[in-house]
Every structure is written in C-alpha cells, then in structure tokens.
Amino acid sequence: MAELVIRGGTLVTPEGLLRADIAIQGGRIQAIGPQVPGGAEEIDARGLHVFPAVIDVHLHFNEPGRTDWEGAATGSRALAAGGGAVFFDMPLNSTPCTVNAREFDRKRAALEASSITDFGLWGGLVPGNAGEMAELADRGVVGFKAFMCDSGLPEFPRADDFTLFEGLAVAARLGLPVAVHAESHELTQGLSRKMAEKGRSGTRDFLSSRPVVAEVEAIERATRLAGEAGAKLHIVHISSGRGVVAAAEAKARGVDVSIETCAHYLFFTEEDLERLGAIAKCAPPLRDAEQHDALWETLLSGTIEIVASDHSPAPPAMKTGAIMQAWGGIAGVQSTLAVLLEQGHFRRELPLERIAKLTSATPAQRFRIAHKGRLAPGNDADVTLVDLRESYTLEARDLQQRHPVSPYIGAVFRGVVRRTLRRGETIFANGAIAARTQGALVRPHLRSS
C-alpha cells in the first residue's frame, strides 16, 4: 500500500492532460494510473489540476547576511504558496556573496536550516574568482552568475568582457552554464550619468537610462563570447521581444543558450511603472506595450524556455519614494504560476502543459536536476494542486514573504493553488503553511549524463 495517493486529478504532463491517480512512496512517485490501489493517506484531487511543482531558477532570498530583506524561511514559504518546491538562489544579495566554496558551505547550511523547499545554489562569477569555480562546481552549484552591468551592490562587481570570457571558458570545462544579467554597462552608465547631469530623475528618465538596445547589445556580446568559449549560456530575465530575438539568432548559429524571462515582464508594462512607482522598479526595466507584446509572442511561439520570478525583495522603505534611488527588484516569488495561468492560459490560450514546461520541466532539464521537473514514476513527488475554477484578488495578507510589498497586490488571478507537496510532504495547503521538515540541496549530476 502506498503511503499517499492523490486521487482523481487532471495531471499536467508533457504529453498532455491526463486524468489519473498518483501513488507516492518514500517521497517519490511510485505509480501513475487510472485507478491505483488505496493509500495509507489519500488526497481528493477531483476537479483539480495537478502540476509538477514550480522550479524557480532565479531569485534572491538574501540569506545569510540580509535576512531583514527576506530570508529563506519566509521566501520558501511564499514559493510554496505559489506552487513551488525548488528554488535556485543567486550568489547575491546574500552577504558575503557566494563566490567561493566557503561561502557556498555557509549558505547551504543556512538554507538547510530555514528553507521548507528544496534548493540549488548559483555561484558568482566576478573579477578575480575564476580560480574558485572548480571548487564551487564540486560543491554542486547549478551554474555561475555574472553581471554585465553594475549589480547594485558594491560587493558583487560586474564582469568586464575579459572576466566573462575567462569565466565562460572555465565553465565550459566544468560543464556548467554561465548566467548573465545582460545590459550594457557602457550604455546604462553613460545614459544614467547624462540624466543625473541634467538633473532629470523621473520615471521616464529612469526608463531612458536603460533602453532596449542596452539589453540587445549585451545579449549579442555574451552569446558571441559563449559561442567562442564553447560554453553553455543562460540569459536571465530578458525583458523585451527584441532581446529574445537576439538570443534566438545566436541559438540558430549553434550557441548553447537558454532563454529566461520573468513573470513581471509578462504582466506589467512601463505604464504600470508610472502608475505604481518604485514598487515596480526592476532592471532591465518594464517595457512599452510593443516590446511587451513582442515578448509574449516569443513566449507563445516557444522561443522563451524558462519563466522565473527574479524575486528581489527589499525593506519597504527602499521600495517607495524617488525612482532613481529606490531598490531595483520586484518581489513576486508567489506569483509566477499565477501570472502564467491568468495572462497565459486564460487570456492567450497558452496550453497548461506549456506552463509546466516553462516552470518545471525545462528548468530541471537545463540545469540537470535529477528526479524533478515532471510527473513521472521514479521522480520526486513535487506536486502542486490548482483549482482552475476559482479566482482571487491578491491581498497583502496572502503574501508569505517577509515584507508584504509586491506590485501584484490587487491583481485578480484565475486559478488557486490548493496544495503544494515537496517530496510527498504537504508544505502548503488551503492558504496555510504546513511543512514539518526542511528542504535540501539539489545537486546536479556533475560532468556525467
């Protein structure tokens, strides 16, 4: 008899929708079928859709060192409430940053003690740390993250072209991807300086200081260097249709590049930034309606491969007031699946199995996370149960993150996450956190498979 059976749900699988039961044993999916035998415990999923839980490949929980901004205890609870069971934490904005094995170990220990979901860790690629990359790979990083422009934090300096090129070559030997924040330092810095000299500090001025061309140019340069180095490249948070097209052109030339966008670029435009203010500030910034629509087109056509949150929280005081001084980051870890259901499935006929691919199957495949990413026998029972018949208005009190600050507050979403399971254990159910145990580090299969 299986420990747990999820009965009567509609499973969202890569092959399509399937009405079936799931038997779970030892945290893994034991069997999927029309009528599996009774379990010691049963979950009635009739009327619900059963998704593979979200794997959020890009976020900042800021632990250790900046847990007053978030922390994995609250961040992972918000992820679970949004249907997620795994996150990859970026090497910043924790302090110290994850740029060597010692800091990897510290972060791992901190997150094992605080996170209710499983997690992977990105290592940092910064000037001077190429010699640390092999040890970070041995520890099990999912890849290395570099900034092509200022990161916003002095302790994580940007990678100049030499640092990036050298890092790409080392990463290629290690068989791991390099993720880049692709915006031109030269352009964004020069334009920002010009705005400051003219005393211009409004929302339109901020947008003008980070134009689409700054993103496109950096994507072209990063893909050129990655192709030359024979490295895997992951471009995080592409904000514009033109940016995606630039990455796709490199891919057509044979560059091994994966394309990520974030939920906020799919939900908001620059008009929303003007309306909402600093709470919706991020970098690259929200785009105009034309680039927003073009971005959606590339998602619907299958060019965008991964959607993440880039949850980048800050204390409320840093997300109010003057736009130029405010923290650049959107706190949306709980809303990725919600955005894809509302804006993708219900408004644009994005098939549910494509949503599962964008948020779970491709993340697991690209970053070689074993036993996750799809509902299949032998895989971890990381599952989220969603009621597509119900809708809700997101309110501040619904947010499980540390500071209830999010531009999504007040938005109406169709599709309610009823329950999230991590390796067979319910960690979120009916609006409340229910985890009894902590999450663990997921390790990619290094230099094999």
Q: Which of residues 72-111 bind Zn ion (CB under 5 A)?
A: none
- Identify which range of 253-261, 308-316, 372-380, 384-392 contacts Zn ion by CB under 5 A: 308-316
Work out the angle at residue 410's Cα, subtended by the Cα atoms of residues 407 and 413, and round it to the nearest 5 degrees: 100
| 72 contacts 109 by C-beta, under 8 angstroms | no
* CB 333 to Zn ion: min, Å: 11
* CB 380 to Zn ion: min, Å: 25
- Identify which range of 153-161, 279-287, 310-318, 332-340 contacts Zn ion by CB under 5 A: 310-318
Q: Dump strand ranges (E) for 369-424.
A: 383-393, 412-422
Q: Is the dihedral of CA 187, 192, 193, 198 positive or negative?
A: positive
- Identify which range of 38-46, 124-132, 303-311, 366-374 contacts Zn ion by CB under 5 A: 303-311
Say whether residue 56 binds Zn ion (CB under 5 A). Answer: no
Q: Which is nearer to Zn ion, 205 or 310 (CB)?
A: 310
Cα dihedral 394→400→404→406 (10° resolution): -50
- Identify which range of 62-70, 157-165, 192-200, 305-313 contacts Zn ion by CB under 5 A: 305-313
* CB 237 to Zn ion: min, Å: 7
| 56 contacts 87 by C-beta, under 8 angstroms | yes
Q: Which is nearer to Zn ion, 211 or 328 (CB)?
A: 328
* CB 362 to Zn ion: min, Å: 18
* CB 1 to Zn ion: min, Å: 45
Query: Closest by alpha carbon to 270, among 260, 282, 261, 259?
Result: 282
Q: Which is nearer to Zn ion, 310 or 342 (CB)?
A: 310
- Identify which range of 48-56, 249-257, 302-310, 319-327 contacts Zn ion by CB under 5 A: 302-310
- Report which residue type is found at 120: G
Q: Is the dihedral of CA 313, 269, 324, 411 positive or negative?
A: negative
Of how many residues is the chain composed? Answer: 449
* CB 90 to Zn ion: min, Å: 5
Query: With CB under 5 A, what is the number of residues at the site for Zn ion?
Result: 1
Q: Which is nearer to Zn ion, 281 or 418 (CB)?
A: 281
Work out the angle at residue 153's Cα, subtended by the Cα atoms of residues 151 and 154, and round it to the nearest 5 degrees: 110
Say whether residue 310 binds Zn ion (CB under 5 A). Answer: yes
Tokens matching residue 376: 């299949």
Q: Which is nearer to Zn ion, 118 or 310 (CB)?
A: 310
| 372 contacts 57 by C-beta, under 8 angstroms | no
* CB 59 to Zn ion: min, Å: 7
Tokens matching residue 430: 């009916």
* CB 436 to Zn ion: min, Å: 31
DSSP 228-277: HHT--EEE----SHHHHHHHHHHHHTT--EEEEEEHHHHH--HHHHHHHG
* CB 438 to Zn ion: min, Å: 24
Q: Which is nearer to Zn ion, 90 or 169 (CB)?
A: 90
- Report which residue type is found at 219: I
Q: Which helix (H) or strand (E) holds 107?
A: helix 101-114
Q: Which phi and psi angles does 268 have, rounded to 5°?
A: -115, 160
Q: Which is nearer to Zn ion, 51 or 69 (CB)?
A: 69
Number of residue whose CB is nearest Zn ion: 310
| 363 contacts 369 by C-beta, under 8 angstroms | yes
- C-alpha distance from residue 198 to each of 190, 345, 418 (Å): 13, 44, 52
> Is the previous residue joined to 154 through a cis bond, with omega within 30 degrees of 0?
no
- Identify which range of 4-12, 208-216, 239-247, 309-317 contacts Zn ion by CB under 5 A: 309-317
Q: Which is nearer to Zn ion, 22 or 262 (CB)?
A: 262
Q: Which is nearer to Zn ion, 123 or 415 (CB)?
A: 123
Q: Which is nearer to Zn ion, 261 or 426 (CB)?
A: 261
Say whether residue 63 binds Zn ion (CB under 5 A). Answer: no
In whole angstroms, give the CA distance from residue 158 to residue 136: 19
- Identify which range of 118-126, 188-196, 287-295, 306-314 contacts Zn ion by CB under 5 A: 306-314
* CB 7 to Zn ion: min, Å: 39
Residues within the interface to Zn ion (CB under 5 A): 310
